[in-house]
A = this chain, B = another copy of it.
Amino acid sequence: MVDVENFNWEGLLIDIGIIAAQIIGILIAFLIVKAIGNRVIGRFFDKLTKKGDVTKGRALTLQSLAENVFSYVLIFILVATIFSIFGLSVASLIAGAGIVGLAIGFGAQGLVSDVVTGFFLLLEKQIDVNDYVTVGNLDGIVEAVGLRTTQVRSFDGTLNYIPNRDITTVSNHSRGNMRALVDIGISYDADIDKAIAVIQTACENVTLENETIVEGPDVIGVQAFGMSDVTLRVIAKAKNGEQWAVERQLRKAIKEALDANGIEIPFPHQVNITKNSEQA
């Protein structure tokens, strides 16, 4: 039974006061150490980049990681210190956790999974800050790689926070030259050989102007029979990040070349057979 009347309210208040003072002191210390730590990390990586030992992207990645690890370690120390004020050591906490601990273990399992995945993302250099990547259903530019989450900025400006455990297959679009691909439909009536020749010439003119084209572009042949057109495919290789600009330039050039040579890009066709309505 709870003895409500004789409860020592006064003693409790004093205890609370002392503990509160201690906690506030610890929090202030925590904020100071965090600010200093982050400044030291920042300077270290500035020097590193100036010396040119590592690429800019790699340096940014490692810096954001270092800040990340530093901040989690500080928080762990903070929590452990506050616990010790209440007379609980971390060791005994873990040891005595028993079933509650197991339940938390299962619940926090995803956290461990985040950290393990994050560790290998960095170790195997799968993504660096400023890479253009596709992870899950999202694609965009990597802004930060942390132990628990990775931040990717979509092209529309959205900032996505992705837990590392959700990053399984990483498609990194910033590792080498990229392909530019243009499909053009020409009329079934058109002379295929002539069309290929016209498009090939247009492509070669583009290559002369544009230095970001590494290979091609070349017409590789009849890719498909469409409903109303014969599809020809053009393939080129462009410097990383330039593939879309190359594709746009190629589309414009090919369109103008076909127009100049009287080769039609056909609209959908339909054969109409007229029947007098006996039924109506």
A73 to B94, CA, bound (A): 22
Q: A106-B109, A251-B222, A267-B269 are in contact. Are A158 and B173 (CB under 8 A)?
A: yes
- A61 CB to closest chain B CB (Å) equals 15
**A160 and B172 form a contact (CB under 8 A):** yes
Task: Write the A161-204 contact mask toward B (1 if CB under 8 angstroms, else 0).
Answer: 11100101111110111110101110010001000000000000
Is A136 an interface residue, CB under 8 A from the partner? yes
**B248 and A223 form a contact (CB under 8 A):** yes
Q: A103-B109, A221-B252 are in contact. Are A269 and B269 (CB under 8 A)?
A: no
**B112 and A104 form a contact (CB under 8 A):** yes
Residues of chain B contacted by A245 (CB below 8 angstroms): 221
**B255 and A192 form a contact (CB under 8 A):** yes
Is A67 an interface residue, CB under 8 A from the partner? no
Residues of chain B contacted by A70 (CB below 8 angstroms): none
| A residues with CB within 8 A of B | 1-2, 4, 22, 25-26, 75, 81, 84-85, 87, 94-95, 97-113, 115-117, 120, 123-124, 126, 134, 136, 138, 146, 148-149, 153-163, 166, 168-173, 175-179, 181, 183-185, 188, 192, 220-225, 227-228, 230, 237, 240, 243, 245, 248-249, 251-252, 255-256, 264-277, 279-280
